[in-house]
Amino acid sequence: MSKIYDCIILGGGPAGLAAGLYAGRSRLDTLIIEKAQDGGQIAITDEIENYPGQIVEGESGKSLVARMAEQVKKFGAERCSDVVKSVDFSGQIKKITCAKGEYEAKTVIIATGAHPKAIGCENEGKFVGTGISFCATCDAAFFEDFEVYVVGGGDSAVEEAMYLTKFARKVTIIHRRNELRAAKSIQEKAFKNPKLDFMWDSVVTKVDGDEILQKMWVKNVKTGEETLIECDPDDGLFGLFGFIGYVPNSELFEGQVEMDRGYIPTDADMHTNVPGVFAAGDIRVKSLRQVVTACADGAIAAMQAEKYIADME
């Protein structure tokens, strides 16, 4: 462990890659540590149509990310595949301990993201991206005039269900209790929406279909009765959106930076409460978690890291 990087970026999703691009262009000696494939959540997104300028027919999240990673490489940021085990942000030089080794840097950008809570039904993994989605802003347009189901009863589920009614023929909220958790003002709007229906006291137990989502079993938790819901044969599929909360990938940073329910608060320049440590993307406390906002965060964090190092010297 001899080398001290200018900047270590944790996570190779859009926020981390954008940070890597800007840090590399600023000639910072930069290392991106990613435990799996680049791209984070968008690597499993079938189609991206809301990233500005992204109008390539059939563009998938994976291909968009591959181009981002190529661009990062061009500007000189190193990338390594390793699993971060612990971090120590207490000194001026930050220490990152990974499965394969230890790394040190003057600055760290945390871009480890968040993941949506799974619906928790049988076969769920097989249909993510082919009927099951966790992002209405990303995928609503693919269900234009289809039937859509939404799992959850909080603000996100009800607001996203209302958003989905602008696209889908009919939207049904499946909620495990007989009253919504969402704010009353949101509920009032929802109950007035003629395209919105509710299945109370219900949970999705299993999904199935021929490559795409075509049927699901919904169980009434009070009576135990199970109902099979099948797609309209003319449609050939339906949509199922899960909004039962997000899980920030932040366990590693407990006790190292300030957190708010697992998310990391920053100022508008991505500073955390620890000097030299920045956060970018979905891990931050923020209102819109999208590729475009993650990239913007990453760019700002990298420029602030450069400024921090210049002020150190």
Binding residues (CB under 6 A) for ligand NAP: these are 120, 151-157, 159, 176-177, 181, 203, 243-245
Q: Which residues pair with 81 in a beta bridge?
A: 34
Which stretches of 65-210 are assigned E, i.e. beta strand?
78-81, 84-88, 94-98, 102-110, 114-116, 132-133, 147-151, 170-174, 196-199, 202-208
Nearest residue (CB) to ligand NAP, 171 versus 305: 171
Query: By C-alpha distance, which of 105, 89, 122, 73 is closest to 258?
Result: 89
Smallest distance, Å, CB 292 to ligand NAP? 19
Where does residue 261 fall: left (phi above 0), alpha (psi -120 to 50 degrees), or beta otherwise?
left
Residue type for position 248: P
Nearest residue (CB) to ligand NAP, 47 versus 124: 124
> Which residue carries 């509920």 as its tokens?
187
Q: Which residues pair with 303 in a beta bridge?
A: none
H and E: helices and strands count for the chain: 6, 17
How far is residue 75's CA from residue 52's CA, in Å, rounded to a whole number?
22
Smallest distance, Å, CB 288 to ligand NAP? 11
Q: 256: which DSSP letter? A: T
Smallest distance, Å, CB 182 to ligand NAP? 7
Smallest distance, Å, CB 175 to ligand NAP? 6
Nearest residue (CB) to ligand NAP, 101 versus 245: 245
Nearest residue (CB) to ligand NAP, 118 versus 292: 118
Active-site residue set: 135, 138-139
